[in-house]
């Protein structure tokens, strides 16, 4: 049998060796000793293994609570000045950012421009893997430029390892423009840390399947994003108590939710709530104010405007 002999330059071998060493230092690429036998255990045991590893995620996120709280305050501050929250990521991380951004308008009644998600490779990358997108400096620079980010905004980069060229470029260019930056990853040695004003790093340790960062890392990132947007929206008055008072009632389920919220907050019957909501085009806050003060829509709108739409200020 003929042999194929491959000659490589010493420099090339050194680069490959250095890459192997660096990969070992990245905890998201490590091997999980607890799941070594996952391919030969029973299906029930397989589920238990994955579930047990998932239990570490919430605790890891909890250890970052002070940084997350600081990030929420920063985002809320920018929102109150008319600024935006801009997410940037590649692959799973990018998809999570787009998902979180897309949930904000129906949940909190905000304009779709207020929270935006950008994924390396564009919308096509939401459903398809794009080779090399996360390694592209050019895509990072292009997406930040197209986002037209300003000092009123917060640029947030999401990455499992925190070493993707795409997100590093986004953060680096944002910092150069004096834009506040947040980095979210699961690797304390991440390169993106250098360009982040706030570095959020839940350490979920090695994945169940080595390198499959859509699992624990993805779950941790989703939890952090939930905290950031929900926390910031609460801070700017998009909830009253724990009620979703700015919900957009775009279907029957959401209309029923709006009716129930008004019933609870104004202590009225479903018939009264429905009648008042009809007058407000199913805007919960306006209906609640009308019922609280037994007033008309015009006065309710003025009260909300004078208090920046915050029900707490009107009630108290």
Could you give all domains of the chain from N- to C-terminal order, each with its CATH number?
57-235 (3.40.50.10490), 252-315 (1.10.8.1080)
Catalytic residue among 29, 77, 103, 301: 103
Catalytic residue among 29, 48, 131, 134: 134
Q: In the structure encoding, which two tokens stand for residue 189, read together?
A: 């040695």
Q: What's the pLDDT at 29? A: 76
**Greatest pairwise CA separation for the chain in angstroms:** 93
- Phi and psi at residue 113, to the nearest 5°: -80, -15
Does residue 264 contact residue 258 with C-beta atoms inside 8 Å?
Answer: no
Q: 220: closest CA among 202, 195, 199?
A: 202
Annotation marks residue 146 as catalytic? no
Can you list the positions of beta strands (E) in the chain? 85-89, 115-119, 154-158, 180-184, 198-200
Averaged pLDDT, groups of 10, the chain, 316 residues long: 37 39 61 84 94 93 98 97 96 95 93 96 87 83 95 96 94 97 95 97 87 88 98 94 90 94 95 95 94 95 92 86
Annotation marks residue 103 as catalytic? yes
Q: What's the pLDDT at 7? A: 34
Q: What's the pLDDT at 1? A: 38
Q: 110: closest CA among 82, 147, 89?
A: 82
Q: What's the pLDDT at 275? A: 95
């Amino acid at each position: 049998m003929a042999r194929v002999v491959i000659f490589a330059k010493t420099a090339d071998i050194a680069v490959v060796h250095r890459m192997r060493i660096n990969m070992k230092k990245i905890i998201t690429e490590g091997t999980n000793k607890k799941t070594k036998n996952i391919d030969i255990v029973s299906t029930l045991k397989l589920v238990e293994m994955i579930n047990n590893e998932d239990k570490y995620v919430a605790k890891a996120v909890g250890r970052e609570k002070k940084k997350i709280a600081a990030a929420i305050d920063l985002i809320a501050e920018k929102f109150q000045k008319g600024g935006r929250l801009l997410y940037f990521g590649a692959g799973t991380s990018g998809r999570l950012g787009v998902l979180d951004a897309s949930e904000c308008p129906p949940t909190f009644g905000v304009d779709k421009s207020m929270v935006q998600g950008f994924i390396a490779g564009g919308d096509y990358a939401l459903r398809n893997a794009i080779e090399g997108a996360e390694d592209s400096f050019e895509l990072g620079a292009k997406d930040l430029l197209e986002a037209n980010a300003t000092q009123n905004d917060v640029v947030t980069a999401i990455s499992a390892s925190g070493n993707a060229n795409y997100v590093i470029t986004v953060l680096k260019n944002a910092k150069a423009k004096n834009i506040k930056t947040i980095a979210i990853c699961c690797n304390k040695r991440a390169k993106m840390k250098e360009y982040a004003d706030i570095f959020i790093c839940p350490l979920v340790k090695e994945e169940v399947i080595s390198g499959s960062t859509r699992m624990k890392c993805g779950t941790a990132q989703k939890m952090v994003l939930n905290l950031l947007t929900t926390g910031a929206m609460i801070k700017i008055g998009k909830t009253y108590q724990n009620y979703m008072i700015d919900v957009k009632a775009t279907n029957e389920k959401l209309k029923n939710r709006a009716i129930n919220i008004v019933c609870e907050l104004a202590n009225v019957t479903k018939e009264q709530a429905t009648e008042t909501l009809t007058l407000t085009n199913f805007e919960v806050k306006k209906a609640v104010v009308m019922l609280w003060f037994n007033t008309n829509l015009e006065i309710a709108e003025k009260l909300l405007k004078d208090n920046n739409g915050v029900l707490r200020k009107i009630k108290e």
